[in-house]
Amino acid sequence: MIRPGRPRRKRDSTIALINVVFLMLIFFLIAGTVATPLDPDLDLVDTSELEGREPPDALVLHRDGTLSFRGAPMDPESYMAGREPEPVRIVPDREAPGMRLMEVTGELRRLGAVSVFVVTEKALE
């Protein structure tokens, strides 16, 4: 009696495709660079000693909750009087009360500010 032959399994062709893609990836990682390197003679600017200060067109919210604009005491009504509807920038002190910041931003919006941007410090850590 003749035995029927085993059915042959089809070989999976995705293995070869994965190998080709992997080799191409290695080739492009070695042959190319992600970004051009900086000029070795370049000395970058050191800003660690710069004095930080608020933008000249921003309201400053001090730690005691008072506002100032360009060094002069200010309130939201006086600041917005005669201004066109435009975005307003406010620089809060690190120790300023959060509730006071919310009050001031809400008041500025009611008085016609299109939007209120809170200017903060971005840490580079």
Question: What are the boundaries of each domain within the chain?
Answer: 59-118
Please, what's the b/e burial string for 39-55 (b: 16 or more CB within 10 A of its CB; e: otherwise)? eeeeeeeeeeeeeeebe
pLDDT > 70 fraction of the chain, expressed in percent and rounded? 75
pLDDT of residue 53: 56
Quickly state the pLDDT bin for 123 (edges 50, 70, 90).
very low
Two tokens at 68? 């100032």
Residue range 57-108, pLDDT digits in tens: 788 888 898 898 888 898 889 888 888 888 888 888 888 888 999 999 999 9
Backbone angles phi, psi at 117, to 5 degrees: -100, 130
